[in-house]
Amino acid sequence: MAIKRNEKILRPEPLKGRFITVLFCMGAVFFALVARAAYIQVIEPDRLRYEGDLRTVRVSEDRVQRGTISDRNGVELAVSVPVQTVWADPKRIHEAGGFEDRRRWEALSEVFNTPLPQLLSKVENPERRFVYLERMVTPAVARYVRELNIPGVSLKEESRRFYPTGEISAHLVGITNIDGRGLDGVEALYDSYLTGASGQRRYRRDGQGRVIEELEVTEAQLPQSITLSLDQRIQAHAYRELKKAVSYHQATSGSVVVVDVDTGEVLAMANSPSYNPNNRNDLQPHQIRNRAIADSFEPGSTVKPLVVMQALASGEYDESSLIDTRPGWLNMGGRRVQDGKNEGVLTLSGVLARSSNVGTAKLALEVGIDELLENYYSVGFGTDTGTALFGEAFGQLRHRNRWSDFEVAALSYGYGLSTTTMQLAQMYSILGNGGVRRPLSILARQEAQEGVRVFPEELTRRVLEMMQAVTEEGGTGVRAHVPGYSVAGKTGTTRKAIAGGYGDEYVSLFAGVIPAHDPKLAIVVMINEPGGDSYHGGTVSAPVFSTIAEQAVRVLNIAPDRLQGERVRVAGVSVEGQP
């Protein structure tokens, strides 16, 4: 018989400490999750959106080309052309085994003309996602890169600036850098007008690449094109003749400016030496210098018409007045003013024709320094010409309380002040248009800008009549003569200043207007430091003026005003003008 015993059943009793610990941990985890969610949603929600946008949001760009620069007749001077740029994604190159075939990289370095170690160093960092390998390659190189098919190496379309006229218009048009920003000339001056802004389209796409939402669309801002006042036909001829003269006379440099006297538009502005903006591999800093506006020099005898004008304005002189220049020199306070030879007694016209320093000095001392300086200021010496081009020099025109007689005399024949070729062109355009000063313009104008009258029209007409003697028989500028046209001009030859005085180098000048009876063009030629024994303005610069002026009047269909007794060419046939 079984004996029943009272046995105590043992059941596990929960440990109070463990329960609390577990409960606390679960609460802490829950609290951490809630806190993290609150932090993400409330305190820093943008980061999560950013991470999501990286995966789903894409941006496409609507690129715009830089605006075109053209001359007054629509000839393109600067255009943008599409080109390919080679770029790489270093991260993808490392992940996709882009370095496995080293021969491809050797071929790439050879076509880029870049050492292989230098090329590989650009893509050695796997954290980078974009790096340029070669900017703006030729179509043949782009095709070769595409055929190499290197993982992570791709092509990107960009635009490159191309200058159809090359070195002919380089200084005025200017250049851009590799990113299309203007560095010099019109490219820099009107960079914001020419640039425009690319359009953008931001959209969201799903995992299959389908567009599910348009987020933002920014319309492209089209660039503006610029029409210059330049006439490329005149510009090309001026550059060729200037380059030829600089080379022939073994000169250091030279400049030519052609201005429409009625509107103040610059029709040509050429410099030598120049440079090819499409090939800058061997470009030197001195080649970029726009010497027509940046190089200042003493203008010499080219300012003598202003002295004669002031003498006429005083009422003490007229066309029949005689100036005794004998014996060909004049002593002033221990200094000497002299002519090349004894010119004897001259009329005012003769003073200009023979370029007499003695005659001009006597006139200046009679009219006074204040009136002389006023004339110089009136034509724009010592200030800008209005072109607004970067690097324009103002020249130098000092004003003193006391002037010696010799300083007044020197100022009358163009020493003791400095001007640029562009400033001289403005002076002669004022003489040519009847005494009205207008700002010069490198942009084409629909109509002439209103100017300020600085000289009476009758006075300028009388001076122009006298200046014609310079280019006629017996004048110093006879080589500036243009068949069939009257020319009013003035030669100039100045010694270049050095420390302590003047050296043995010269500046050769000729400035004038054509036709003299109804001026349309003002042309200035400057040849800097011509070599050899020929350095005078009448022998070096005057012939350049003649050839440029002859071509310019033909291009612009300016009617001849002096056919009598002249031999002119009509349709390739030389004929003798009849009275």
For residue 460, pLDDT over 70 is answered with: yes
Of 228, 247, 264, which residue constitutes the final position of a domain?
228
The answer, yes or no, to whether residue 142 has pLDDT greater than 50, is yes
530 within a domain of the structure (yes/no): yes
Per the CB < 8 A criterion, the answer to whether 419 and 383 are in contact is: no
Residue 219 belongs to some domain of the structure? yes
Contact indicator for 353, 469 with CB cutoff of 8 Å? yes
Same domain, yes or no: 299 and 346: yes
Judgement on whether residues 349 and 492 belong to the same structural domain of the protein: yes
Confidence category of residue 578, pLDDT binned at 50, 70, 90: very low
The mean of the pLDDT values for the chain is 88
pLDDT at residue number 229:
96
Average pLDDT over every residue of 180-203 = 85
pLDDT in tens, 195-226: 877 667 777 777 666 776 677 777 767 888 99
* 482: nearest Cα among 448, 514, 526, 524: 514
What's the CA gap between 171 and 238, in Å, rounded?
14
Residue with tokens 């310019």: 552
On whether both 187 and 334 belong to a single domain, the answer is no
- Expressed in angstroms, the distance from the first to the final Cα of the chain is 171
Q: Are residues 220 and 238 in the same domain?
A: no
The pLDDT value given to residue 285: 85
Is the same domain home to 388 and 484?
yes
* Residue 116 lies inside a defined structural domain of this protein: no
Q: What CA–CA distance (Å, rounded) separates 241 from 288? A: 19
Predicted confidence (pLDDT) per residue in 81-128, tens digit? 888 899 899 988 888 888 888 898 989 989 999 898 999 899 888 888
**To the nearest whole percent, how much of the chain has pLDDT over 70?**
90
395 lies in some domain: yes
Residues annotated as part of the active site: 301
149 in a domain, yes or no? no
293 and 357 share one domain: yes
Pair 403, 495 in one domain: yes
The 3 state secondary structure assigned to 23-82 is HHHHHHHHHHHHHHHHHHHHHCHHHHHHHHHHHHEEEEEECCCCCCEECCCCCEEEEEEE
Do residues 215 and 239 share a domain?
no
**For residue range 509-520, what is the model confidence (pLDDT) as tens digits?**
999 999 999 999
Q: Is residue 427 part of a domain?
A: yes
Strands (E), 500-561: 501-514, 521-528
Q: Is residue 73 situated within a structural domain?
A: yes
Integer angstrom CA distances of residue 276 from 235, 245, 254, 285: 15, 19, 17, 13
Q: What pLDDT score was predicted for residue 16?
A: 66
**Among 211, 228, 245, which residue terminates a domain?**
228
Work out how many domains the chain is built from and give that number: 2
Please state, in angstroms and rounded to a whole number, the distance separating the CA atoms of residues 418 and 143: 56
Cα atoms in the Cβ-side hemisphere of radius 13 Å centred on 90: 15
pLDDT given at position 498: 85
Same-domain pairing of 189 and 335: no
The parent domain of residue 471 ranges over 232-276+286-576
**SS3 state of residue 219:** coil
Please write the tens of the pLDDT for every residue from 386-405.
999 999 999 998 888 889 99
H/E segment holding residue 200: strand 199-205
**Mean pLDDT of the region 241-247:** 97
- Specify the CATH number for the domain of residue 496: 3.40.710.10
Residue 3: pLDDT above 80? no
Let me know whether 201 and 338 are in one domain.
Answer: no
69: CATH: 3.90.1310.10
Residue type, 159: S
How far lies 312's CA from each of 355, 371, 380, 431, in Å? 17, 12, 21, 14
Give me the DSSP letters along 469-504. Answer: GGGSTTSTTGGG-BTTB--EEEEEEEEEEETTEEEE
Domain endpoint, select from 228, 244, 263: 228
**Co-location of 377 and 520 in the same domain:** yes
> Residue 60: which pLDDT band, with cuts at 50, 70 and 90?
low
Residue 262 within a domain: yes
Q: Do residues 440 and 322 both lie within one domain?
A: yes
Stretch 55-60: mean pLDDT: 67
Q: How far is CA 288 from CA 121, 172, 481, in A?
A: 34, 10, 33
